[in-house]
């Protein structure tokens, strides 16, 4: 017995479950659900759904099937398990899934844990697990059915078990405590003990026999018969107390075959005790002697487990007819909705709604986070704009500089210069021919601006000094400056190369001179 692989659940997103629920809902009246239908139920565009379905196929939560009429997707058992687990997780009932502790004919039982890691028992109903494999062979018949029987019947079995567990517990019967149910999964208390079939010795077999018979009678007095009361469905605790599990065939005492079921339960216990403990009693309870004192069967019906559901389930268990409910549906072709289907639909729809709301909340949170980030960015930007402010202030001040005063004070007359040369912001020089000159001019312009800004700022503080600190250069001045620079560069004494390198270059020089001296002689 292995472990259920639920690790994938961590990586599945809201959309995955939305699509999974859509497939589940579609399977109510489709053998395989076409992409378009999944898309319209999930409310997600086809491209998105196709991608999500691809993921789900990869993890075997849905399977793609080709049929004669159309292709589509069907929910796998694993997908159904995931849906149930996810719903119970979000209800904070289940927090973990552990090892498998039991494989029944119609169920898989696992140890689980709640969010606080207290032990739980998780029972996944798989009604018709074996029988439905054969259904594919009987396609003609299967074609007419309206819903996926294994989904419907497994859910019914779980609903029934949960309802009975609760009712029995309330009436003081020794059963595991019912915790919750979702789809085909029943969550109950984990009983730590051994099934009676594994017990070889008991302290007092007679006392145990009496207690078991008393249990059968007590059930009957409350209006029900277990129907499968045997050593496989009884767990013995350390102190030899008995706990009943598994009541799939529990029927009302008013059932037409009630006596048969009652006698079968009694005989099972008698046979087991004779075989295992070599104990045979002269006394055993008789169906006619039962005095009905309670009406658990009636109350159960009122609790939502309808007669129709009980009938469908009993037909599946008793006659092995797992499609009995479909026959019924086909007969009522004009089609009233059945209770169980409605329940499950509303459950799935509400889950879908919850997922949608969750996603909307997430979106809202994302938007809020984005707004916050934008605000933060603005603050950072506003800090860096201090420099820009300073620059624009400086530029404004420059524009205020009174150039006419400067000209008159220094005796400039630039009336014959083009307008652009008078721009207060920088220095422009007349167009030059050579590239070299252009580079030089750019450099000069750059230097001029750098020098100009702080001077201009100072000027604002002392308006009277405008003329004396003017930073504009005329073209003539720049020309002169450049010529001076070039002259200085030429006059610069070249650095002497020393050492080996110097000797090499000296030799070369000498050779050159010799060659030029004897040119024409050789």
Catalytic residues: 228
Burial of 413 (0-12, 13-18, 19+ CB in 10 A): exposed
Of 166 and 430, the one with the shorter C-beta distance to ligand ATP is: 166
Least Å distance, CB 157 to ligand ATP, is 9
Stretch that binds ligand ATP, among 188-196, 275-283, 391-399, 412-420 (CB under 6 A): 188-196
Neighbouring-strand partners of residue 243: 235
Question: Among 90, 131, 169, 195, which residue sits at the site for ligand ATP (rule: CB under 6 A)?
Answer: 195
Whole-angstrom Cα distance, residue 102 to residue 126? 13
Question: Among 37, 190, 296, 313, which residue sits at the site for ligand ATP (rule: CB under 6 A)?
Answer: 190
Count of residues touching ligand ATP (by CB under 6 A): 19
β-pair type (185-188, 194-195): unpaired
Per CB under 6 A, which of residues 267..296 are in contact with ligand ATP?
Answer: none
Question: Among 246, 265, 351, 440, which residue sits at the site for ligand ATP (rule: CB under 6 A)?
Answer: 246
Stretch that binds ligand ATP, among 101-109, 355-363, 379-387, 468-476 (CB under 6 A): 101-109
Residue 107 interacts with ligand ATP (CB under 6 A): yes or no: yes
Whole-angstrom Cα distance, residue 515 to residue 510? 9
Of 245 and 290, the one with the shorter C-beta distance to ligand ATP is: 245
Stretch that binds ligand ATP, among 241-249, 300-308, 348-356, 448-456 (CB under 6 A): 241-249
Residue 102 interacts with ligand ATP (CB under 6 A): yes or no: yes
Q: What letters, b where the CB count within 10 A reaches 16 and e where it falls short, cover 108-130?
A: bbbbbbbeeeeebbbbbbbbbbe
Residue 232 interacts with ligand ATP (CB under 6 A): yes or no: yes
The whole-angstrom distance between residue 105's C-alpha and the CA centroid of its chain comes to 33
Least Å distance, CB 23 to ligand ATP, is 26
Of 49 and 94, the one with the shorter C-beta distance to ligand ATP is: 94
Whole-angstrom Cα distance, residue 439 to residue 416? 25
Of 41 and 122, the one with the shorter C-beta distance to ligand ATP is: 122
Q: What is the separation, in whole angstroms, between the first and last Cα of the chain?
A: 107
Q: What phi and psi, each to the nearest 5 degrees, are found at residue 295?
A: -135, 55
DSSP string, 113-146: E-TT--EEEEEEE-TTTTHHHHHGGGHHHHHH--
Question: Among 52, 233, 314, 452, which residue sits at the site for ligand ATP (rule: CB under 6 A)?
Answer: 233
Residue 185 interacts with ligand ATP (CB under 6 A): yes or no: no
Question: Among 21, 61, 181, 191, which residue sits at the site for ligand ATP (rule: CB under 6 A)?
Answer: 191
Question: Among 51, 105, 307, 378, which residue sits at the site for ligand ATP (rule: CB under 6 A)?
Answer: 105
Cβ contact 99:1 at 8 Å? yes
Per CB under 6 A, which of residues 120..179 are in contact with ligand ATP?
Answer: 121, 123, 176
Cβ contact 164:300 at 8 Å? yes
Q: What letters, b where the CB count within 10 A reaches 16 and e where it falls short, cover 443-465?
A: ebbeebeeebbeebeebeeeeee
Q: 366 is written with which tokens? A: 């994302």
From residue 483 to residue 522, the character string flagging contacts with ligand ATP as x (rule: CB under 6 A) and all else as - is: ----------------------------------------
Binding site for ligand ATP (CB under 6 A): 101-102, 104-107, 109, 121, 123, 176, 188, 190-191, 195, 232-233, 245-246, 248
């Amino acid at each position: 017995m292995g472990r259920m692989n639920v690790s994938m659940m961590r990586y599945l997103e809201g959309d995955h479950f939305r699509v999974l629920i859509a497939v589940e809902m579609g399977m109510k009246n489709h053998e395989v659900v076409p992409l378009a239908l999944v898309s319209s139920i999930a409310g997600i565009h086809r491209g998105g759904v196709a991608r999500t379905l691809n993921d789900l196929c990869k993890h075997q939560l849905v399977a793609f099937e080709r049929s004669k009429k159309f292709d589509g997707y069907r929910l796998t058992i694993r997908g159904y398990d995931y849906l149930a687990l996810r719903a119970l997780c979000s209800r904070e009932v289940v927090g973990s899934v552990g090892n498998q502790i039991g494989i029944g004919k119609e169920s898989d039982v696992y140890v689980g844990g709640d969010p606080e890691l207290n032990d739980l028992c998780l029972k996944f109903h798989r009604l018709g697990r074996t029988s439905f494999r054969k259904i594919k062979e009987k396609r003609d018949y299967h074609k007419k059915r309206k819903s996926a029987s294994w989904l419907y019947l497994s859910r019914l079995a779980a609903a029934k078990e949960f309802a009975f567990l609760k009712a029995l517990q309330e009436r003081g019967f020794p059963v595991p405590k019912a915790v919750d149910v979702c789809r085909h999964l029943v969550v109950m208390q984990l009983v730590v003990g051994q099934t009676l079939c594994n017990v070889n010795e008991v302290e007092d077999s007679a006392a145990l026999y009496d207690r078991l018979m008393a249990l059968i009678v007590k059930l009957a007095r409350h209006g029900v018969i277990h129907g499968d009361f045997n050593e496989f469905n009884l767990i013995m605790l350390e102190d030899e107390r008995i706990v009943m599990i598994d009541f799939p065939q529990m029927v009302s005492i008013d059932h037409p075959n009630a006596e048969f079921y009652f006698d079968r339960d009694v005989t099972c216990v008698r046979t087991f005790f004779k075989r295992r403990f070599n104990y045979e009693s002269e006394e055993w309870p008789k169906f006619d002697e039962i005095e009905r004192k309670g009406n658990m069967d009636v109350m159960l019906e009122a609790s939502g487990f309808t007669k129709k559901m009980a009938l469908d389930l009993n037909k599946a268990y008793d006659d092995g007819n797992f499609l009995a409910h479909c026959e019924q549906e086909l007969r009522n072709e004009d089609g009233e909705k059945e209770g169980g289907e409605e329940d499950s639909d509303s459950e799935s729809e509400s889950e879908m709604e919850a997922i949608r709301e969750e996603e909307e909340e997430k979106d809202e949170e994302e938007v809020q986070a984005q707004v916050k980030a934008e605000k933060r960015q603005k603050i950072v930007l506003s800090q860096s704009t201090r420099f820009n402010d300073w620059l624009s202030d400086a530029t404004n001040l420059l524009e205020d500089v009174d150039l006419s005063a400067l000209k008159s004070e220094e005796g400039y007359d630039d009336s014959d210069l083009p307008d652009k040369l008078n721009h207060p912001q920088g220095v422009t020089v007349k167009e030059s021919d050579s590239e070299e000159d252009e580079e030089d001019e750019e450099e000069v312009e750059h230097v001029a601006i750098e020098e100009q800004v702080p001077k201009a700022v100072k000027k604002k503080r002392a308006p009277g000094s405008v003329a004396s600190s003017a930073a504009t250069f005329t073209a003539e001045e720049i020309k002169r400056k450049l010529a001076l620079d070039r002259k200085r560069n030429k006059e610069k004494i070249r650095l002497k190369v020393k050492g080996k390198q110097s000797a090499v270059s000296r030799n070369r020089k000498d050779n050159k001179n010799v060659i030029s001296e004897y040119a024409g002689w050789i």
